[in-house]
Amino acid sequence: MTRTVKRAFKFRFYPSDAQAAQLSRTFGCVRLVYNMALAARTEAWTQRQERVGYNATSALLTGWKKTEDLAFLNEVSSVPLQQALRHLQTAFTNFQARRAKHPTFRSKKRSRRSAELPDGCAPSTVTVSCDAAGRWFVSLLCDDAITQTSATGQVGVDAGIDSLLTLSTGEKITNPRHERADRQRLARAQRNLARKQKGSANLAKARINVARIHARIADRRRDHLHKLTTRLVRENQSIVIEDLAVRNMLKNHRLARAISDAAWRQLRTMLEYKAAWHGRDLIVVDRWFPSTRLCSACGALAQKMPLDVREWTCPCGAVHDRDVNAARNILAAGLAVTACGDDVRPQRESSRTRQSSRKQETPRVTKGTPVH
């Protein structure tokens, strides 16, 4: 069975000096138009309670181009400027639907430098970007045919730090700790950056050097996650994961660096879209489900399970590896959700809402870190 999906292909490219200058000029115009349109929409609402949409900002853009101060906007393609207004409209739509925060102004130093060039053609979107390390990329969004193969496997996945993932099969996938591998190199580069004089050419070179180390870490992490998630999706029809409150877990300053390096949120995102591509079932278990304290053999619930306890014995005689037991319980809870619409495992004793092990949609109910 073949399925057509939207898929982006990203390539590195090397523009000439003239092309790089024109693209940089385009990036600046895109950022300027976005910020001006955001200011106009914010002012209209705060002063007149008037909603300004995409059509109105497009008309404003036409007027801006006719002014003497903004005549340089005519020197770049109009398509990226219109795309910036569409992105702003999407940002306001998400804000009004309470899916995102209010749009913010784009910073020259911190914002992503990119521009969408074609519109209404094939490929549907071509995005040119330049990262902080000075590398140029072009991303092509195309319709791609994916052949969906059959798979019979079922796996529960428990995320961790020592082992990036522990599977219900008993397999443990080692955490490569990409950030730790380059930590000393990054620290030296950052110290060198701190010593440079503000506004000097050496400061710009040192900043690029730091950005290249960050890019190396991110690239290696992304490559590892892609290979790992592709393998899980190809081998299993049903994949069960736990709904982790990563943002809240990052408040633990002792583990924040390791949690960020593990990139659990990125891992879940990859699993979500790859499972959709290949027709797999991705099941998310409620973050409050006591997967670690529950005996996968008899269903008994331990009262406490400190983090330093890596192996424990249930009164029924079963000896459990902490992470493998959690992965097996996550799989059982996920399969119960698909089979019965609810979990058949023992309910947590501290449940206030009497909800099932299925992921809950209300963020206030599930606010906090997982109970293990």
Per the structure, the complete domain to which residue 98 belongs is given by 12-116
Q: Are residues 287 and 157 part of one domain? A: yes
349 included as an active-site residue: no
Structure tokens at 157: 């996945």
Within-domain flag for 97: yes
- Total count of domains within the chain: 2
Q: Are residues 228 and 88 part of one domain? A: no
Within-domain flag for 356: no
Mean pLDDT by 10 residues, the chain (372 residues): 89 96 96 97 93 95 96 95 96 94 90 82 85 94 89 94 94 95 96 94 95 96 97 95 91 91 95 94 92 91 87 90 94 85 44 38 35 40
Q: Are residues 165 and 89 part of one domain? A: no
242 included as an active-site residue: yes
pLDDT digits (tens, 9 = 90+) for 249-294: 999 888 999 999 999 999 999 999 999 999 999 999 988 899 999 9
Catalytic residue among 116, 179, 286, 323: 323
Q: Are residues 74 and 159 part of one domain? A: no
Q: What is the pLDDT of residue 111?
A: 79
Q: What is the pLDDT of residue 134?
A: 93
Catalytic residue among 242, 243, 261, 343: 242
CB atoms closer than 10 angstroms to residue 219: 13
Kindly give, in sequence order, each residue whose CB lies less than 8 Å from that of residue 67, ignoring residues fewer than 6 positions away.
Answer: none
Q: What is the pLDDT of residue 342?
A: 54
Q: Are residues 294 and 244 part of one domain? A: yes
Where does the chain have alpha helices with state H?
Answer: 17-48, 54-65, 78-96, 178-181, 183-194, 201-235, 246-249, 256-262, 264-278, 322-340
Closest CA to 155 of 137, 142, 172: 172
Within-domain flag for 232: yes
Q: Are residues 285 and 157 part of one domain? A: yes
Q: Are residues 332 and 276 part of one domain? A: yes
Spatial separation of the C-alpha atoms in residues 259 and 174, rounded to whole Å = 14
Spatial separation of the C-alpha atoms in residues 307 and 310, rounded to whole Å = 7
Closest CA to 84 of 47, 121, 110, 111: 111
Q: Are strands 281-285 and 236-242 parallel, antiparallel or unpaired?
A: parallel
Structure tokens at 122: 């094939």
Q: Are residues 161 and 112 part of one domain? A: no
Burial (0-12, 13-18, 19+ Cβ within 10 Å), 330: buried
Q: How many Cα atoms within 13 Å fall on the side-chain side of residue 171?
A: 8
pLDDT digits (tens, 9 = 90+) for 187-229: 999 999 999 999 899 999 999 999 999 999 999 999 999 999 9
Within-domain flag for 363: no
DSSP 124: S
Q: What is the pLDDT of residue 208?
A: 95
Q: What is the pLDDT of residue 110?
A: 79
Catalytic residue among 158, 261, 286, 343: 158
Provide the CATH number for the domain around residue 233.
3.30.420
With beta carbons less than 8 A apart as the criterion, state whether 131 and 139 touch. Answer: no
Q: What is the pLDDT of residue 167?
A: 96
Indicate if the alpha-carbon torsion angle 76, 79, 83, 86 is positive or negative: positive
Within-domain flag for 365: no
158 included as an active-site residue: yes
Q: What is the pLDDT of residue 124?
A: 81
Closest CA to 78 of 139, 37, 26, 138: 26
